[in-house]
Chains A and B, each alone.
Chain A
Amino acid sequence: MSNVTMKVNGKPVSGEVEGRTLLSSFLREGLEMTGTHIGCDTSQCGACVVHVNGQAVKSCTMFALEAEGAEVTTIEGMANPDGSLSVLQQAFQDHHGLQCGFCTPGMVMSAAALLQDNPKPTEAEVRDYLEGNLCRCTGYHNIVKAIMAASGQDVAVAAE
């Protein structure tokens, strides 16, 4: 077992982990932050996406020890400081961009990274960027719509 220290959502945290412990497991089991979800074991589904030093990362593809000293942001850290939903989260609710909610943390984290890099993505760019995030409920329609809306683009014509 080794000690690992990092900042998660701005707070310093540390814990004892095995070398093989994945960042996703450390967040869920070690820190009891269960907002980050695990939907597969081949790094395909994207439910576990978090930000590590500002980059969107599937947290099942990293060992916890690799995040030593990193700044990690999870879904629990995405709301506004007063606890209200951020623009992106609010867009997901307004446009019914989630149903069962299981893929949602990864979707929001991926979408946030996309909008950081590309504040006005086209529909095709949104769909392309979400290739690493599976959703089985929404058929992606309202997820794409929500992300476009969060970027300030009106998609009413395209989507209806």
Chain B
Amino acid sequence: MPKDGGIGASSKRREDVRFLTGQGNYTDDINIHGQAHAVFVRSQVAHGTLNGVDTADAAAMPGVLRVFTGADFEGVGSIPCGWQVTDRFGEVMQEPGHPVLAQGKVRHVGDPIAVVVAETYEQARDAAEAVVPDITDLPAVVDMKAALAEGAPKVHDDLTSNLCYDWGFVEDNRDAVDAAIRGAHHVTTLELVNQRLVANPMEPRVAIGDYAPGTGDSTLYTTSQNPHVIRLLMGAFVLGIPEHKLRVVAPDVGGGFGTKIFHYAEEAFCTFAAKALKRAVKWTSTRSEAFMSDAHGRDHVTKIELALDEQGQFLALRTDTHANMGAYLSTFAPSVPTWLHGTLMAGNYKTPLIYVNVKAVFTNTVPVDAYRGAGRPEATFQLERVIDKAAREMGIDPVDLRRRNFITEFPYATPVAVEYDTGDYNATLDKLLEIADVAGFSAREAESKARGKLRGLGLNCYIEACGIAPSNLVGQLGARAGLYESATVRVNATGGLVVMTGSHSHGQGHETSFPQVISEMIGIPEDMIEIVHGDTANAPMGMGTYGSRSLAVGGSAMVRATEKIIAKAKKIAAHLMEAAEGDIELKDGQFSVAGTDKSVAWGDVTLAAYVPHNYPLEDIEPGLEETAFYDPANFTYPSGAYACEVEVDPDTGKVTIERFAAADDFGNVVNPMIVDGQVHGGLAQGIGQALLEGCSYDSDGQLISGSYMDYAMPRADDVPFYSVDHSCQTPCTHNPLGVKGCGEAGAIGSPPAVVNAVVDALQRAGHSDITHIDMPLTPARVWSAMNG
């Protein structure tokens, strides 16, 4: 029987009502009295010397309040990077400055040069066209290996080269891995590209700066996954506004997928300009602007080698990756190809020796940072592709090869510095074979063949590290932040309660799922519990929502705060019932004295806390409000197995996803309906990467895929109904809810399944020479592979 509330129930989402009736409150829906409008003038070339900006004509146009250029920001801080990676020689990474508006040079198409602020949006847009930047073109570097070549044009003249860092992990294993590969029975090598993607949340970014001259308070409304982080980065490092004079609000946010984590120039600009003009300043990104100013994702070029013995046991793994940073270091960019990628290279397997080398490279392209999965999809893709290739080369069934190497005992310390607490990889694989009906594949293949189509089956496993992360650990790894979360639980006199959380919901449904947890703990209806998020004026601090961390870290903070509430409420109940505190039990919203029929209701206790007439004032304070900060003891490790079945049209190379199945272990699940939805969305993004999406630059650094005309987003008819299952549950051992996180799994686990399936289809059709095709597997690429 499905539960009708609490943990494990598919409670319907309360936020849906406002979204379904047009009553959402997204940032662009906010209009502040007297606001002015900002339009950015951006570089149309990838690399050039900015000799000056002629703003005279624009400034004279109707409605224009002021035209800002880099000169206005000379005393303003650089947009900071939140993670410092140390290279394999012990040197810190090269870290260039990142001005709010270009100073002396432009470094990518879309680099902001000037901003027109006018009374209306139309006036600002018209005047922006009259701003004339004087740019001398410079040769651009786009290809990463070319950017590292001797004599290559430098993106940043003050750096020694375009190399951000050369990272080795685990550096002490380097020689042992080389030796193991040299001496192995079999080595499978694969070179591949994990292509650049654009996150594309459907809501473009928006920033509104506001300033109150009477108090000197600044407010920023922004489309962010983590308003407290923006307040800290922008306030402390860019604009020099102390946190108590700066409020950041991220109201309803229309999807994030990573790209709304980062602090952007437009946020700093609007906050700065509002103070300068003493009126609110609003900027709304167009989609075309988003393509050239939202941080991109992925963009790795990799060579991976897997050494095996005669029985197919993995002996060693070596991987060599070039990772594109783009023109500047976005907020968490350095961490993605290193600590979020290298630490996952063990996957689900007992590979004893692993060495990961990553060269991060500056190019004249949009900065690259975390996008759904962030490093873990790149790790999973190369690992699961090379295993499939090895299975084929050695004549071992790919499922069997994986099983032979599965980690089966937990906790398990990998050779890449993480310790998996729980998992059962055979269980999720068994479940996958069942829900994907792998046994029925042959019949379906025959049916496809009868229609002249090639059918293929691809499977893979994945593991990821979520719930980022223990602050002391990430501090050692270069993070310039702690990665705890906070929650304040405020109980009102009449028993309802409000949770102010530092987690942020931009589609994840926290307003529904978080109350389910508290409802379970206290035994009061979910509708007595309200979640408040997205405003630095409420939650004490918030590291925000990304890395599938909200329930595991933010939810845990909420549990800890609620435990404090319950402990205090029990003291009050004990006083009211003249019983010993240790004898008080709480169930279904009633406090009772163990072994007696005495009880008081939740509401009686909360009322007593605020009307303390009969109350132990000598022992405890009135009121019922508690705050907790939760710092996780480890990452969480969701895992699973995915299967994709494709049909390939041999005449056109078009790939159709016929079936997709996902068996995940997310540990405990609070709202199965929401979890299913998270997996569905991740799968579509992974399938999009595998078949459709790719951000493209020409050799001059011109952005080719600058709109939805050119960037192929997955549409409803590109994907099937998915078969998803999360009944295999090995609860996380170190957080109070036993949850692992589910937000990124679909995007991490699905690309290798799709590519494995296409290669399988082509191999079955006799194309034994085709062992890999780089994503996206467009008809042109697949057809070309088949036809030489």
- Spell out A's residues near B (CB within 8 Å): 18, 20, 28, 32-42, 44-45, 47, 74-76, 78-79, 85, 89, 92-94, 96, 98-105, 108, 123-124, 126-128, 130-131, 133-145, 158-160
Min Cβ gap B225→A in Å is 11
Given contacts A93-B12, A136-B200, contact A102 B255 (CB under 8 A): yes
Among B507, B707, B716, B721, the residue within 8 A (CB) of A137 is B507
Q: Please measure, in the bound complex, the distance between the C-alpha atom of A79 and the C-alpha atom of B16, giving whole angstroms.
A: 13
Other than A34-B22, A138-B677, give 6 A-B pairs with Cβ distance below 8 A.
Answer: A42-B287, A78-B22, A98-B19, A139-B682, A141-B677, A144-B716
B472 located at the interface, meaning its Cβ lies under 8 Å from any Cβ of chain A in the complex: no
Min Cβ gap B742→A in Å is 13
The 16 listed contacts between A and B (C-beta, < 8 Å) are A34-B24, A35-B24, A76-B23, A78-B20, A93-B16, A102-B202, A102-B254, A108-B20, A123-B721, A124-B717, A130-B717, A136-B255, A136-B685, A137-B681, A138-B684, A139-B683
Is the Cβ of B684 less than 8 Å from the Cβ of A39?
no
Which residues of B are found within 8 Å of A143, using beta-carbon distances? 716
Q: Please measure, in the bound complex, the distance between the C-alpha atom of A135 and the C-alpha atom of B722, giving whole angstroms.
A: 16
What's the dominant secondary structure at chain A's contact region?
A: loop
Is the Cβ of B20 less than 8 Å from the Cβ of A47?
no
Min Cβ gap B216→A in Å is 30
Is the Cβ of B202 less than 8 Å from the Cβ of A89?
no
Closest to B21 in A: A79
Q: Please measure, in the bound complex, the distance between the C-alpha atom of A105 and the C-alpha atom of B20, giving whole angstroms.
A: 7
Which residues of B are found within 8 Å of A131, using beta-carbon distances? 715-717
Among A42, A75, A135, the residue within 8 A (CB) of B202 is A135
Among A34, A42, A145, the residue within 8 A (CB) of B28 is A34
Is the Cβ of B719 less than 8 Å from the Cβ of A100?
no
Q: Please measure, in the bound complex, the distance between the C-alpha atom of A96 and the C-alpha atom of B72, giving whole angstroms.
A: 48
Closest to B710 in A: A42
B448 located at the interface, meaning its Cβ lies under 8 Å from any Cβ of chain A in the complex: no
Which residues of A are found within 8 Å of B200, using beta-carbon distances? 136
Is the Cβ of A101 less than 8 Å from the Cβ of B685?
no
Closest to B682 in A: A139
B520 located at the interface, meaning its Cβ lies under 8 Å from any Cβ of chain A in the complex: no
Q: Please measure, in the bound complex, the distance between the C-alpha atom of A159 and the C-alpha atom of B659, giving whole angstroms.
A: 11
Q: Which bucket holds chain B's interface residue count?
A: 35 or more
Restricting to B254-289, which residues have a CB under 8 Å from any CB of A? 254-255, 257, 286-288
Min Cβ gap B226→A in Å is 16
Among A28, A74, A140, the residue within 8 A (CB) of B716 is A140
- Spell out B's residues near A (CB within 8 Å): 12-13, 15-24, 26, 28-29, 31, 122, 200-204, 252-255, 257, 286-288, 506-509, 673-674, 676-677, 680-685, 707-709, 713-717, 719, 721-723, 746
Among B203, B288, B676, the residue within 8 A (CB) of A39 is B203
Is the Cβ of B680 less than 8 Å from the Cβ of A141?
yes
Min Cβ gap B727→A in Å is 13
Q: Please measure, in the bound complex, the distance between the C-alpha atom of A127 and the C-alpha atom of B203, giving whole angstroms.
A: 22
Is the Cβ of A139 less than 8 Å from the Cβ of B26?
no
Closest to A25 in B: B121
Given contacts A78-B21, A99-B681, A137-B507, contact A37 B203 (CB under 8 A): yes
Which residues of A are found within 8 Å of B676, using beta-carbon distances? 96, 142
Min Cβ gap A146→B in Å is 10
Is the Cβ of A93 less than 8 Å from the Cβ of B20?
yes
Among B24, B286, B509, B709, the residue within 8 A (CB) of A99 is B509
Given contacts A44-B709, A127-B717, contact A101 B15 (CB under 8 A): yes
Which residues of A are found within 8 Å of B19, using beta-carbon distances? 98, 101, 104
Is the Cβ of B721 less than 8 Å from the Cβ of A159?
yes
Is the Cβ of B715 less than 8 Å from the Cβ of A130?
yes
Which residues of A are found within 8 Å of B507, using beta-carbon distances? 99-101, 137
Is the Cβ of B22 less than 8 Å from the Cβ of A138?
no
The 7 closest A-B pairs by CB, nearest first: A35-B22, A102-B254, A101-B19, A139-B684, A100-B507, A44-B708, A99-B507
